[in-house]
Amino acid sequence: MMGQENAIFPGPHLKRSCMMSMIRYTVLLYFTCIAAASFGADQFLRERQAEFLYDRGVHSFFDQDYTDAIAKLKKVEVLESVDPRPYYFLGLSYNRIKDKSNADKYLKKASRLEWEGRSARDYRVSDALKRIQGRERLQIESYRKQAKRNWEKVETKRLETKFNQTKAEENAILAAMRKQPEPIPEAPEVPFVGTAPFGARSVDPFRSPEKENEARDRLIPADDQKPDAAAVPPEPRPETSATDSPSTAETDKADAETPT
């Protein structure tokens, strides 16, 4: 019964271990959050502040308070934002107060940032400029087209440079592969004339039977060569006739007639 209670209700040492694990996990999570926050906190705050100032500046622009719109949108420039929308409305605000030089300056900057940052984020510039029509919209579109052409030239040059660099690396690799080392000359073939251990006849497995026989003939002298057993005919056995070998009965009869 006591064993079952201990299995259901853990002891104090197990509770202490679980508590220490939770504390370590909490501390680790806390420092991780601090590191992540400190890494991108400044950039994050800048972007949020720039978006807030952009919203307030656009409201002032459509309220025809161009001075307040310029003041708020200039703060976005101080924050070094890469969002092209605040600079479009900053150029339009200068255009409304007849400041052509600043209007052209910020409209060009806005169109350049739009094309340079297309791969990073889509700021939906066309949606932001829906309410801008007429001559101002045509002027903006001309800046956008020029910025697109400039961006395409820069991108084409970058791709060509990358292609040439890759091609040069491939050619270098192919040239290194074509430079093969000179072939090593083969050693002259020397016939094996030694003797095998334990008196066994040496046999070259790569030599033809004809060459093997020639080598054997060179090694064995002519006097020591014995003819094959198949070449010597067997000696004839003498045949026994009736006259040459009398029978046993006749021999016994002759012995009986001999006087003792």
The mean pLDDT value for 139-153 works out to: 91
Lowest-pLDDT choice from 86-100, 137-151, 212-226: 212-226
CATH architecture type of domain 10-175? Alpha Horseshoe (1.25)
How many CA within 13 A on the CB side of residue 202?
A: 14
Residue 135 structure tokens: 């001559």
Rg (the chain; Cα; Å): 56
Identify whether the C-beta of residue 226 lies closer than 8 Å to the C-beta of residue 217. no
Predicted local distance difference test score (pLDDT) of residue 3? 47
Is the pLDDT at 78 greater than 70, yes or no? yes
Kindly report, residue by residue over 155-172, the tens digit of the pLDDT. 899 899 999 999 989 888
| Average predicted confidence (pLDDT) for the chain | 75
Gap between the Cα atoms of 85 and 32, Å rounded:
35
CB-based contact 89:68 (threshold 8 Å)? no
Domain boundaries, the chain: 10-175
Q: Are 106 and 87 in contact (CB under 8 A)?
A: yes
Q: List b or e across 2-13, with b for residues whose CB sees 16 or more CB atoms inside 10 angstroms.
A: eeeeeeeeeeee
Query: What pTM did the predictor assign?
Result: 0.51
Among 139, 82, 143, smallest CA distance to 113 is for 82
Structure tokens at 217: 């003939």
